[in-house]
Amino acid sequence: MTPPEPPFQPLRPRDPRSVGDYRTVGRLGAGGMGAVYAGRAPSGALVAIKLVHGDLAADPDFRARFRREADLVRRVSSPCVPRFLASDTGSGQPWLVTEYVAGPTLRQHVRDHGPLTGGHLRAFAAGVAEALRAIHTAGIVHRDLKPGNVVLAEDGPKVLDFGIARALAETAITRTGGLFGTPGWVAPELLRGGQPGPAADVFAWGALAAFAATGRNPFGTGSAESVAVRVLEARPDLDGVPEDLAPLVTAATGDDPARRPTVEQVLSELLGTEPTRVGGTGAEEATVRVTQVLREQWEAPSPPAAVAPHRSPTPNPDSARTPAGAGGRRWAVGVAAVATVLLVTAGGWYLGGRFGTNVDGTSARGTDGSEEGRVGGTETGAVSGAGGTIAVEMSGNGLFTVHADDSGQLGIAPGFDGVGPVLPEEAERAESAVATVRLETVSSDAAARTGVTVFGEVEYVADNGEFTLRSGDFTLLEVGEGMDPLPDDPTADGRPAHHADPDDVLVTVDPESPGAEFEVRFPGAPDSGLLAYLPAHDAHGGTRYAVRGAYACYMNWHPYPPVDMTDEEFVPCWEEPPSE
């Protein structure tokens, strides 16, 4: 009898029903390189299958990256890292299989049940340190340790996702000037352009331990810029970390990597033993001790509740909103700072103009200066009683930041300014930011290189309220002869446009459920064009706002665009790959 399936997201019509010898039974997530599926081995055991997107598999750089990832995962052996099972990096769509780890992520557990305490917390800290010891023993730096990448399994924490790990002896396969990682968990030396090393993982361990102990991001929330400034100024919030852990966590999150403890020293402090070498008998003894600690002090969490593709919105037009980060610190960095802390996207992105018009090409500003209704959805007519403006700006390569201005103090007027920042220079972006939307693109039909799938993740960064993302927020516009390659308003010149279902709610995020992934398909869209993002009038908490948006250029045939965000270089979109 086949065992029942856990509550995975259901497979979609275009998802494979098998990968190698493994049968797919549900979706676990998606990322820049591919999708992750739950599967069944021939023995019936549950497994996790990572499958590269079809169009990326044809790119030799992406294939080399995935081959390297599989090699890195194969090297690591630890009770706190999922076991490598199989891979095929030479197939048409390369894949990698590891054991399936059941349980909530640390972020999910803290959200639902609060911080870890007592022996449970120390066992967590020791388990993650043991995973890093094994990772470093294999000559690898993880580079993306964060609450969403640690699962609390029945027998202990499991560190996941080697998608951006790198071998210490290798040159990272990445775009020049790009930095992998997640703001708030990236070590300060990496923000300054340094090379990733074990000390950067120790920094992330300290931040992770602080989050587990307090339930708060140690460097706070808000825009990527504001979080980066706190990291660079070494200002973690460690209030509430237990006294017996506080000195170790403080040292681990210090600014100077040379003064942080090594992962061996971290384990020594947690286990009350002498520091071990990176490899050899001492390391094996440390693993045994950690396993014993987990057996004695680990509290197996309840499995997470059913996983749904999205949560239906519950708008509340009467809800009041306090600006995110009210009373927070002013930040003193510009767009350039954000560009140094972003994940590199799968598709090529170029920064384009900002706009405030409707997605069918009509002006967002009525003849009387009022904001017209949003086209493509159910809303038409002037926006009456709008509480302010929702403004979208490009914060970095593939990352949009959504700002909500209730009071009008930011001076955001309906309309568009063409290329340039949406908010005035003196604006406190950290206080107006409500969400970030990270976008990537791949071809829906890899063989014909037609159709576009837009996918990514939304993170809520405000302290209250909620934000809803709909399919209709996105429009793909074509480029070509006779069309301005870098228009002020990409929707106003009559160029062909491709739309998705305007009323399809993709995700709703709020402080309790701040992160979510999404995917939208545009079957008829070309492989290169302009992607316009214009939120719905009621995207923020149900209150009706005037809206203005942003657009970017996507080019799926150009996975590593030569974008120099630090110089705010606005590069037009090409219809076809440039000739050599």
For the annotated catalytic residues, the residue numbers are 144
| DSSP string over 408-440 | STT---SS--BSS-SS-TT--HHHHEEEEEEEE
423/545 Cα distance (integer angstroms): 16
| DSSP string over 333-380 | --HHHHHTT-PPPSSEEEEEEEE-S-TTS--SB-TTSPBPPPTTSS--
326 burial (CB, 10 Å; 0-12 / 13-18 / 19+) is exposed
147/509 Cα distance (integer angstroms): 17
Q: What is the DSSP letter of 320?
A: -
300/101 Cα distance (integer angstroms): 13
Element (H, E) at 247: helix 246-252
122/139 Cα distance (integer angstroms): 26
Packing angle, helices 118-137 and 263-271, rounded to 10: 150
Helix (H, G, I), strand (E, B) or coil at 293: helix
- Reference 395, options 467, 340, 473, 332; nearest CA is 340
- Reference 541, options 431, 450, 465, 446; nearest CA is 465
Sheet holding 84-88, edge to edge: 18-19, 22-30, 34-40, 46-52, 95-99, 84-88
- Reference 385, options 536, 548, 544; nearest CA is 544
203/189 Cα distance (integer angstroms): 10
